[in-house]
Every structure is written in C-alpha cells, then in structure tokens.
Amino acid sequence: MQDILVFGVGITSEVISYYIEIWGNYRIISYVVDKQYLNNSAFLGKPVITTDTLPKYPPDHYKAFVAVGYQNYNVFREQKVLEFHKYGYKLISIVNPKAPSKPFLNYGQNCLILPDDSQIMPYVELKNNVFVYVGCAIGHHTTIYDNCWIASGASIAGNSKIQKNCFVGVGASIGNEVNIGEKSVIGSGTTVTKNLKPQSVTIHQNSKVVHDPDGLYTVFLK
C-alpha cells in the first residue's frame, strides 16, 4: 500500500478521502494546506501539515494527490498540481476499481474517476487533473483535457472534446462530436449540441416555485 499526502481539508477532500479508504489502494499519511490556512492540527483523524514542511516528507517515499474544488475555472487546483510537481512528487489518480482498464480508458495524473465501468465507453482519454464525479456517462473516443471537472450525472456523447479548465454541471448533456472551448462553463441541466468557443457559458433557468410552505410566494399551475 502506497503512502500519500493529500492537499486540501475541505469537503472535496473529505469525499475523496472516503473513496481512498474504501478502495484501499493508498494510505493517507497527512493532509497538506498552505501555511496561512492552517486552522486545525488534524483532519479526519490525520495530522495536517503545511507546504513549507514538505521536505520532511521526501517524494521518493511519498506520492501526493490534490483534492480541491473547481474554483476559478479549476485554476486553483491546476496551480497546486504544478506546485507539487515542482516539489518532485508524483501525483496519483484515484480511480474506481470497476472503471475500464487501459487501453480502453487512459488517464493522466491527479485524476478522480468515480462512476461505474458501464458508464464509461471504450477509448476515452482523460488528460491530467480531470475529476469525474458519480453517475456520469462518457461516450467512446471522447477526450477530456487538463483541469476539467465533470459533475455528477453529466452525459458526454461519443467523439467529443472538452478542452482545458472546463466545468460541466450536474445533469448537463453534450452531444456527439462536440468541441467545448477552453474555460467554458456548462451549467447544470443544460444541453449542448454544437461547438462552443472558449469561455462560453450555458445556463438553465431554475424551475418555478409552485408552492412555498411559508406562504410567502405561491404560483398556481394552469
């Protein structure tokens, strides 16, 4: 079992730590934060250290994983991945054991893959630092480039390309052979069937409130 350091002590790290525990391929030795954000000495029963103390954990003995969210087009997570590379660490990927094996599924470093194997078709490629949450469907020959976040229940049809630093929201659908430009945000529940330029944003309006239990706002269906 490989000993690892996990950067991050937020809810994303908490979720990922759960899967690390139940899949049993890695043992978390410590969590890591930047010095100015050290608020507690422990997280999930493990010590919390700061990045300036990393020399005590040499990269020839430990690997690492960056477990933070999608803030600012995933740029914060991207920056931390690059920092750990500079420190000399190899970044592991956390992958559901039921996911397809290579060459049917290829992925880089610091990837998170949670959905079952029946939802990822053959010849999918995830570059570095791609997070795929529960219940996603990814079609054959699709490529997802660095630093993307694919939220739960998203569907991406075959032979599509999701460029760097994109966010695909909960339940969003992307059609066949669609190219999503870099740093685009595909909002929850939206459908995209045509190529999008970089930094595009799609949104789906919230459903109308048909009953407010506090009596402040009520809409009657016709």
pLDDT tens, 8-21?
999 999 999 999 99
**pLDDT > 70: percent of the chain:** 94
- What pLDDT band is residue 221 in, cutting at 50, 70 and 90? very low
Determine, yes or no, domain membership for 210.
no
- Of 92, 117, 150, which closes a domain? 92
In Å, what is the CA distance from 110 to each residue of 16, 37, 147?
12, 22, 9
70 and 12 together in one domain: yes
Residue range 55-92, pLDDT digits in tens? 999 999 999 999 999 999 999 999 999 999 999 999 99
Report the sign of the C-alpha dihedral through residues 103, 165, 203, 133, in that order.
Answer: positive
pLDDT value, residue 220: 45
Determine, yes or no, domain membership for 14.
yes
124 and 143 together in one domain: yes
In Å, what is the CA distance from 159 to each residue of 73, 204, 222?
23, 24, 42
Cα gap 60→128, rounded to integer Å:
21
Structural domain boundaries, residue 128: 95-205
Residue range 111-138, pLDDT digits in tens? 999 976 668 999 999 999 999 999 999 9
Residue 219 pLDDT > 60: no
Q: Dihedral, CA atoms, 194, 197, 199, 200, nearest 10 degrees?
A: -30
Nearest CA-CA partner of 200 in 183, 177, 178: 183
- Of 92, 119, 143, which closes a domain? 92
Give the number of domains in the chain: 2
First to last CA, the chain: 61
Determine, yes or no, domain membership for 218.
no
- Of 92, 116, 151, which closes a domain? 92
65 and 167 together in one domain: no
Q: Do 194 and 178 meet the contact criterion of CB atoms below 8 Å apart? A: yes
Q: What is the CATH number of the domain that holds 190?
A: 2.160.10.10
80 and 163 together in one domain: no
182 and 193 together in one domain: yes
Determine, yes or no, domain membership for 211.
no
Determine, yes or no, domain membership for 32.
yes
Q: Is the peptide bond before 103 cis (omega within 30 degrees of 0)?
A: yes
Residue 42 pLDDT > 60: yes
Cα gap 104→179, rounded to integer Å:
21
Supply 167's token pair. 């966010």
75 and 104 together in one domain: no
Residue 198 pLDDT > 90: yes
pLDDT mean over 169-181: 97
Cα gap 91→12, rounded to integer Å:
17
pLDDT mean over 165-190: 97
What φ, ψ does residue 136 adopt, rounded to 5°? -80, 155
Residue range 134-167, pLDDT digits in tens? 999 999 999 999 999 999 999 999 999 999 999 9
